Structure formats: structure tokens, C-alpha cells
Chains A and B, each alone.
Chain A
Amino acid sequence: MHPTLSVIAFTTLAGTGYGLWFLTGLRLLTVTQVDLAGGRAGLLAMLLAGAVLTTAGLLASLAHLGQPQRAWRALSQWRSSWLSREGIAALACFPFALAAGWLVWTGTGSMAALHAGGAVLAALALITVYCTARIYTTLRTIRAWHNRYVLPGYLLLGLHGGTLCAWLLAATGLDMGLGTRALAALVVLTGTAVPLFKHAYWRFLDGGRHPASPESATGLGRHGRVRAFEAPHTEANFVTREMGFVLARRHAARLRHAVLVLGGGVPLLAALTGLAAPALALPAAGVATFSGLVGIFVERWLLFAEARHAVMLYYGAARA
């Protein structure tokens, strides 16, 4: 699949932003008046950083559309379309984040309202990333996406990115009541889980093929082995450009290493450094967040670029 920059930017930025909002929502569940007195700036920074990341992601996704001025129409088909559900959940987070921010800012409202707002924000952020993943996992045409690894992968990478950003905010000295050490410990967990998980996904990806074949695509398997003899057109068309991207598979091994090292290894080592030497927490968190987000970006790029689409069986692909 052609890795369109706008879609990759969307899933990287918005995934991280909703991951951060998820953590913020969880934090707000147990927040007290005393926490607010000391940690107002930290909580507002988390909410704001989440808003910046998710807004940037959503704006990037508009760049993918042929008719972006009609994007509002995408909110209408919640009954059948995961893309529509994603859009609704993504936007529904904003009023709750705004309300939570207002309650944190004034510090006068009831804590019960803030707890409820936090619960809804965490739930909606989780639902948004869940819907994003379901857009991909429902496509039976693409084996790299239609499998049981992709959904947990989206959730894990969203949590990883969100945790890295929260750790960076905490390391700058902002107190959001989560603790720099606790967040660094969470980065150790996600930084370990991401490479293990991606390794398992790639084993799955390399270990099988799509159920369709050139024989089933043409129905000519009863006569023998089918090979493309002449293409219908001499130039590329939309289908071959969009679904027939081969560059990544040629460089897959290197790019996969980049994901493992930048996405998982560097944040893991940085978090361990931050835990061992608290004085180094800020530079460690800075390096970890930058490296982690680059790693997530490469992972998202590969998730597209390595994916084979069944339609290419018509264009001479021996497998899908």
C-alpha cells in the first residue's frame, strides 16, 4: 500500500495525542482539591499537549482527502463505517477535554464532575484509537492489516507515545501527580512491549500469505498456473500506484530494525537512565520522546508500505 504522508502523520500524531488524553483522563479519575492546588499547571499542560497533537493529526488527515471541505459528511455513517465512528469519537473528546481543562483551571467545581469528565475522556480516547485500528482490521483485502495483531498494536503504540509525552512533561518539572519515576517505569514497560510485539507481528506477516491467489482472482486455476501475460495499460493507474507499492519490502529488514531501536530500544534505555540518575531525567525523556515518535512514525509507514493488497494479483503479483 502506498504510504501517504498525511495518513501516517495522522496516526502517529493523533495516536500519541489520544494516548496522552487517555493517561490524563485516568489521572483525573482520582484527582483531589489538594492535587489541583499544586498540580494545576501539569494537568493543563497534559490536556493542552493532547489537544495540540490530536488537532495536528486531524488536520493532517484532511490533507488526504480529495474534497476536504466536505469532511463533515464523514460523521454521518456511524452505523456501518469505522472511519465515520472514528471521526465522531475523535471530535467527541474535545468538549470533555475542554470541560476538564476549565474545571482544573478554575479549581472550584466539584471533584465528582472532574472525575466523571476524566473517565469519559479516557474512554473516548481509547474508543477513538480502537476505531482507527478497526478501519484497518476490517479490510479483508490486506492480510497485513486483517489480523489479530493490528488492533492491540494501535492501542500499544498510542499508549507508548502518550506515556513518552507525559514523561517528558513531568521531567520538565511540571507536577501532574503522576510522578516522573512512575512515568519512566511505564516507559520501561511500553518500550519493552513494543519491540516484542512488533517482532511477533512480523513473524506472522512473514509466515503466511493472503488466501487469494492469481488462480482464484481470475478463476482460471482449474486450467493450470496463472501468470500475467499483458497488462491492460502501459502506464501506471490509480490502482497500481495506490496498492502496488514495493519499495518498503526491498528495505524491510533495515526499516524494521529502525522501528525496534528508535521506537523501543532507545526509549527503554533512556527510561532506565532516568530511573537510575534522576538528574538526567529531562535529557533522557527528551531523547526518548523524540526517538520514540520517530520510531512510531517509521512503524506506521511500514504498516502501510509492507502491506500487500489482493488487487495486485491481477497485475502480476504471485501472492498477496
Chain B
Amino acid sequence: MVQTMTDLPARTSRRLGLVIDLDTCVGCQACAVACKQWNEAGAFGPLPDDDAYGREPLGVWFNRVHSYEIEPDPGAPEGTRHGMTVHFPRSCLHCEDAACVTVCPTGASYKRAEDGIVLVDADKCIGCKLCSWACPYGAREYGETRGVMQKCTLCVDRIYDEGLAPDERQPACVLACPSRARHFGDLGDPHSTVSRLVAERDGYDLMPELGYRPTNKYLPPRPRRAGGGCASATSDGETLRADDLPPLLRWMDRLLSR
């Protein structure tokens, strides 16, 4: 379908997107690297770097993996009061109400009616950068060398490629993830694997208060096992989980602990 205006489609028949599991992400950056590698040679043209081997390398990446430290609420109940670090991959969320599309003055930015993917036509973009101002998720980066805005395509040049084996018709970041923290599918279909994951694991939207209605969802980290109660320290600082031992060894541990 040819888009003539940067109006958003009234509804999209499918809502393709990602579900990112913050419980299992190990922050290895494989998604970011696989994305860069695939898209560097992808259908939307290269993702050039400026001064790649110089003092201040700068380049376009569609995936950025942050790490956050969580300081527990002092009022939290005993046993849940422990800090943690969470690895946090950030990329385009292919919003339902994509402000980056409606602000575009040229028609270069559009949201596809058939699957909801938000794309930039690099041949129409004038590089005014307004879409990057409109996006709270930092999904759009300006390519200095090409003079246009670039963003995640959800690997639209992979997922429909019938030359690839069916299992490989997924975004490069999803295929590369070693801990299966990234899942791809139709979030508009309540029976899809990704929709069931979101329902089971209490998946959520980023910055819901801004009202952009992102398609991609994040799954929260599961409660971490805390020290108190289920583990005891040995004299040299090692911990032993007695509950996880087979019954015979657990009995022996109890006997020797007297």
C-alpha cells in the first residue's frame, strides 16, 4: 500500500512487534551487534559510522542496551528488600500512536497499515530531525553521512523473505539473543505466543503516561531469591541452599549443623 500522507492508519490488521524479557536479558549486546550487522547491508541502506576508528566514533545503532540499578523501596516487606541490576535493551517500539510519523513534514515516515511497522523512506527524508524530538524512546537516530533519519525496521527485509528458512524469518536481534530474552510476533492477536507471554508475565508499556501506545512490551524481572531464610553462610563466605539439596544430604547438613 502506498502511503501518501503521514496520517496514521485508523487500525492495522496485525501489530508486529517484540516482547523483551528483562528477567533473562544478560546484557551481552548480541542483539545490538546482530542488528547493526544485518542492517548495515539491509534493504534500507547502510548504517554508517563517522570517525569509526578515530577518537570520537559516532554511528547509528537501532538497539542500545542500558543497565539500571534498582534501589529497593525502604518500606518494602522483609525478604523483598534487595537491590538488583537489570539489563535493558531499548529500540523502536512501533507505537500505535506514533508521533514521529505524524510530525513528519515529507511523508518519509509512515506506519504500515498491514502490520503496524514504522518505517522511514530514506529517499524522501529531508533530515529535519523533528521525528527524533517527538520520540520519547530515542528510537530514531540521524545518520550524519546519509543526511537522513534511520530507525529499526523490525527487519522487514527478513521477516517476509521466503528465501529464508521459516525459523529464520525473524528480526536479527531475536535470532541472535543467546538467552531468548527477545520474542517476535503479532501483538494484535491475543492467541499469539507473544500475547500469551505478555498476559502470563504481566508485560507492560514504557512511559504509558505519554499515550503513544507502544506495540513492543517488556516483561518484568522475576523476584530475585534473597539471602534471608533459604540460604546460610559458611565460615568462608560461601552460601549453601540447604532446601535445594537431596533429602539425604539435607539430613546430613542438619545433623552436622547441630
A interface, CB within 8 angstroms of B: 1, 64-68, 70-71, 73-77, 79-84, 87, 135, 138-142, 211-212, 214, 216-220, 222-233, 235-239, 242-243, 309-311, 314-315
Interface stretch (choices B161-169, B182-190, B208-216, B248-256): B208-216
Q: Please name all residues of chain B whose beta carbon is closer than 8 Å to the beta carbon of A315 when the two chains form the complex.
A: 66
The answer to whether residues A81 and B127 also contact, given A141-B133, A238-B142 and a CB cut-off of 8 A, is no
Q: Please name all residues of chain A whose beta carbon is closer than 8 Å to the beta carbon of B148 when the two chains form the complex.
A: 66-67
Please determine whether A212 and B61 come into contact, CB atoms closer than 8 angstroms.
no
Whether B195 sits at the interface, judged by CB under 8 Å, is no
State A222–B223 Cα separation when bound (angstroms): 11
The answer to whether residues A220 and B137 also contact, given A77-B6, A211-B210 and a CB cut-off of 8 A, is no
Please determine whether A227 and B206 come into contact, CB atoms closer than 8 angstroms.
no
Give the contacts of B1-60 with A (CB-CB under 8 A): 5-8, 22, 27, 32, 56-60
Q: For the A-B complex with A135-B130, A233-B61, A238-B58 known, give 9 more contacts whose Cβ atoms are closer than 8 Å.
A: A73-B124, A80-B8, A80-B101, A141-B133, A211-B210, A216-B209, A238-B144, A311-B135, A314-B90
Please determine whether A138 and B103 come into contact, CB atoms closer than 8 angstroms.
yes
Please determine whether A66 and B220 come into contact, CB atoms closer than 8 angstroms.
no
Q: Please name all residues of chain A whose beta carbon is closer than 8 Å to the beta carbon of B86 when the two chains form the complex.
A: 218, 220
Please determine whether B130 and A314 come into contact, CB atoms closer than 8 angstroms.
no
Please determine whether B133 and A223 come into contact, CB atoms closer than 8 angstroms.
no
Q: Please name all residues of chain B whose beta carbon is closer than 8 Å to the beta carbon of A217 when the two chains form the complex.
A: 136, 206-207
9 A–B contacts, CB within 8 A, in A order: A66-B146, A211-B209, A216-B209, A237-B141, A239-B141, A242-B142, A311-B137, A314-B90, A314-B138
The answer to whether residues A238 and B132 also contact, given A212-B209, A229-B67, A229-B69 and a CB cut-off of 8 A, is yes
Please determine whether B133 and A212 come into contact, CB atoms closer than 8 angstroms.
no
Interface stretch (choices B105-113, B172-180, B226-234, B238-246): B105-113
The answer to whether residues A218 and B56 also contact, given A225-B70, A242-B132 and a CB cut-off of 8 A, is no
State A235–B52 Cα separation when bound (angstroms): 11
The answer to whether residues A232 and B102 also contact, given A65-B126, A73-B108 and a CB cut-off of 8 A, is no
- Shortest beta-carbon distance, B211 to chain A, in Å? 7
Partner of B58, one of A66, A236, A311: A236
Partner of A212, one of B56, B90, B207: B207
Give the contacts of B58-117 with A (CB-CB under 8 A): 58-61, 64-73, 76, 83-86, 88, 90, 99, 101-108
State A142–B99 Cα separation when bound (angstroms): 13
State A216–B210 Cα separation when bound (angstroms): 10
Please determine whether A232 and B90 come into contact, CB atoms closer than 8 angstroms.
yes
Count residues of B near A (Cβ-Cβ below 8 Å): 71
Whether B129 sits at the interface, judged by CB under 8 Å, is yes
State A242–B149 Cα separation when bound (angstroms): 13
State A67–B125 Cα separation when bound (angstroms): 7
State A222–B218 Cα separation when bound (angstroms): 13
Please determine whether A235 and B57 come into contact, CB atoms closer than 8 angstroms.
yes
Q: Please name all residues of chain B whose beta carbon is closer than 8 Å to the beta carbon of A238 when the two chains form the complex.
A: 58, 60, 132, 141-142, 144
The answer to whether residues A212 and B64 also contact, given A225-B70, A236-B56 and a CB cut-off of 8 A, is no
- Shortest beta-carbon distance, B65 to chain A, in Å? 5
Q: Please name all residues of chain A whose beta carbon is closer than 8 Å to the beta carbon of B70 when the two chains form the complex.
A: 220, 223-227
Q: Which residue of A lies closest to B99 (CB)?
A: A140
Please determine whether B5 and A79 come into contact, CB atoms closer than 8 angstroms.
yes
State A230–B28 Cα separation when bound (angstroms): 13
Closest 6 CB pairs of A and B: A66-B127, A66-B147, A230-B67, A232-B64, A84-B105, A74-B105
- Shortest beta-carbon distance, B33 to chain A, in Å? 12
Partner of A67, one of B137, B147, B205: B147
Partner of A219, one of B60, B106, B204: B204
